[in-house]
Amino acid sequence: MIDQKQVLDNLFDGLYTVTQERKITYWNKAAEAITGYTAEEMVGTHCYDSLLKHVDKEGNDLCRDGCPLSWAIAHRCRHEDEIFLRHKKGYRVPINVRVSPLYDTEGQVRGASELFSDSTPSAALADKLAELEELAMIDSLTRLANEKYAKEQIEHYLDEMKRYPIKIGVAIFKIDNINIFIKDHGLPAFEQMQKIAGQTLSRNCRPLDLIARVDDGEFLGIFRNVSDNYLHATCEKMRLLFLKSNFPLNNVLISSTFSVGGHCLKNEDSYSGVITLCRKQVAACRQIGGNRTEVDIHFVAV
C-alpha cells in the first residue's frame, strides 16, 4: 500500500491542514521549502500565531481578519486567492492559495486544508541573475542588479522610446531613518534589512521588471508596459509588503518602512534627471514622516 504521507510530502505545492480552531496538524516538505519553517516548528501551533503573517496586497493582516482557512470552514466552501506570506528570513513571498474544508465521516466540517504555491517568477529571476553575473553587474550584498546595470537599462529605454511608443515607470524605494536604524540595531541588522527589502521587491514584481540596489538602503525599480495607474499601485503594494516584513533580533521583531518616489519616462528625460526627480519625491515623503508613496505620472499621448 502506498504511504499517503509520502505522497503528500512529495507534492510540488505546499500543503498544511488545520482543525476548526486553526491548529496546524500537518505541514509537508514543500511547505517547508517555500516558507523556511519546518514541520517541527509549525505542527501544534495555530496559523494565526504570527509566523507566516499572511497579508493581502493592501497589507491587511489576514491571519486576524480575513483568513482563507476560516472562510472555508465557515462557508463550507473552497476558496482560491493570491496573498503574501512572510518567509522565515523575513521577506514577503507571493503565493497562490487554494483552501478547502475537511469533513468527517458524518459530513461535519472538522478543519481545512491549504494548498499553496510560490508565484515568484523564479525561472526568469534565475536567468536574469546568470546574465548579470556574467556581466559583473551584481550587487554583492543583495544579489540584485547594481546601479551600473540599472542605468544602462533606463538609457536603453529612453533611446527606444524615440522609435516606439513604450511606457516605462521608474521608482526609488528608500528605507526610512537609516541612521537611527543603524544606531539602534547595528550595521549587520541593517544589512539584513536591505536583503529583506531586496527580496520583497524582486519577488513581487513581474518577470520583465527589474529591481536594483543603487545605494545603501536605496533600491531602483524599472517597470515595463505600465498603465496610468499601475506604477502607483505597484509602489504602494511594495511599500505595504515591506512594512509587513521583519526579522527577529534579540527576541524582538525588527521592521522598517519605505519612502517611495516614482516617475513615468518621457522622451526628454535623462537618467540623472529621472533619479534626481525620484529622490526629491522620496525626500518630500520623508519630510512628512516617511512610509509614503509619491508618484508623478505623465504619459505622452500616442
pLDDT one-digit tens code per residue, 137-157? 788 899 899 999 999 999 999
* pTM, full prediction: 0.83
Return the CATH number of the domain spanning residue range 122-296: 3.30.70.270
Nearest to 285 by CA among 177, 150, 198: 177
**Phi, psi dihedrals of residue 171, rounded to the nearest 5°:** -145, 145
% of the chain exceeding 90 in pLDDT: 64
Cell of 172: 526609488
pLDDT of residue 297: 56
Distances (CA, A) of 80 to 40, 192, 193: 27, 33, 31
Question: Does the pLDDT value for residue 163 go beyond 90?
Answer: no
pLDDT digits (tens, 9 = 90+) for 63-107: 777 788 888 888 888 888 889 999 999 999 999 999 999 998 888
Domains of the chain: which residue ranges?
A: 4-118, 122-296
What architecture (CATH level 2) is domain 4-118? 2-Layer Sandwich (3.30)
Alpha carbon 231 to its chain centroid, in Å, reads: 15
User: Assign residue 220 a region: left if phi > 0, alpha if psi is -120 to 50, beta otherwise?
Assistant: beta
pLDDT digits (tens, 9 = 90+) for 19-50: 999 999 999 999 999 999 999 999 999 888 87
Crossing angle between the packed helical segments 271-287 and 147-161, to the nearest 10 degrees: 120
